[in-house]
Structure 1
């Protein structure tokens, strides 16, 4: 029997590791349908980039590539109150990409900074059916519970290795709503899994099975 893989649901690292299934984040303009055919990809316009001159072109590329079998998710997309770009402009690109995700039934990987009420308001307004995955979560339990109430999944990264508050929130999140990621970290997904399983007081093998089930549910590409 094959060993259960580790699942890295959001990474910017292209390097391959045996036993790890990675969803690699790409800018639409850098995605090559032939070159990246053997990878699992997420594509989207980050809120930091919606003011760039090529933002409209990249939006069309997201729409063009969304049907590609290698594209597992639309993301990372979202809202960020820590930047100068007006939220109204961020929301415009965010909602258009939500529509693309809905059209092609792809989950959404979300970047959110200090804008969770707006995020939830949009989710209720547009009545989405595709899963939303909040990546790199480092907020409090109250916000996590509100996101869970609105059927979001929550992804944790390297902060689990050292941030006690992040660890405490993680422990309280139901196992069927959790993902793990490396993002741009130098730490491996295996390190993060081992810490996460320990925090949940689970055997690593059982923890891996639980997260694989989440992956198969959300990304709809059974392994």
Structure 2
């Protein structure tokens, strides 16, 4: 089987022969779907942090994170664009960090105008921290690379004015994923743009991203 395109974060998976999509589910929705039998990531989104007490969130995580079909914890994180206080969001986010550490699974992070806050919370850990939908500028990227974050790049890169385009040139290929999130953009367009900015053939980029998937998530897809 040829190496597929990898979409590391999508909310609307559509089966295609040359594409593997890692679907992101809200943890409360995952819990209501006991027949699910394919790999996903799941967590309490910061938009929903106010819906659960810390005890409720902890118990829901404990009930579910050991499920073998949950291969990553999240998306979870911090978001300054919503009304829920950062204190409440951070408390729920911290529970995910502890759960990911305990179970040994990567954590998928939603971060909106909270780069410094998320960086502050990242301690010495062997758990990969993946910043999904990353849009940071060159200076932000340089700071985050010092703590070995992994960057998942989406359709924002296709905007020729995006400061993110400068960041692509300094992100090591082993710290990179590509995603579509909640858009209907063809993942191949993003691959093409990343390959162009890195001056490499798209097929080589596919191999690298597939290798990153195996390294961080294990053998969840064959090629």
TM-score under structure 1 length normalisation: 0.91
- Return the alpha-carbon distance in structure 1 between the equivalents of residues 203 and 50 of structure 2: 44
- Return the alpha-carbon distance in structure 1 between the equivalents of residues 51 and 174 of structure 2: 37
Q: Specify the alignment match of 2:182 in structure 1.
A: 184
1:198 aligns with 2:208: no
| Secondary structure of 2:82's aligned partner | coil
| Secondary structure of 1:8's aligned partner | strand
Structure 2, unpaired ranges of 5+? none
1:49/1:55 contact within 8 Å kept: no
1:141 aligns with 2:138: yes
| Secondary structure of 2:23's aligned partner | strand
Q: Specify the alignment match of 1:15 in structure 2.
A: 14
Q: Specify the alignment match of 2:40 in structure 1.
A: 41
Count of matched residue positions in the alignment of Structure 1 and Structure 2? 219
Deviation at 1:144, TM superposition (A): 1.0
Moved more, 88-97 or 10-19: 10-19
1:152 counterpart (141, 149, 152): 149
Cα deviation code 1:43-83 (max 9, x no counterpart):
11111111125885454333212111111100111111222
Q: Specify the alignment match of 1:216 in structure 2.
A: 214
Q: Specify the alignment match of 2:127 in structure 1.
A: 130
- Return the alpha-carbon distance in structure 1 between the equivalents of residues 103 and 48 of structure 2: 23
CA RMSD of aligned residues (A): 1.8
- Return the alpha-carbon distance in structure 1 between the equivalents of residues 95 and 101 of structure 2: 10
2:39/2:69 contact within 8 Å kept: yes
- Return the alpha-carbon distance in structure 2 between the equivalents of residues 114 and 149 of structure 1: 19
Structure 1, unpaired ranges of 5+? none
Cα deviation code 1:111-159 (max 9, x no counterpart):
11111111111113xx332100001111111111111110110011001
2:28/2:44 contact within 8 Å kept: no
Change over 3 Å in CA distance of 1:58–1:93 after alignment to 2: closer
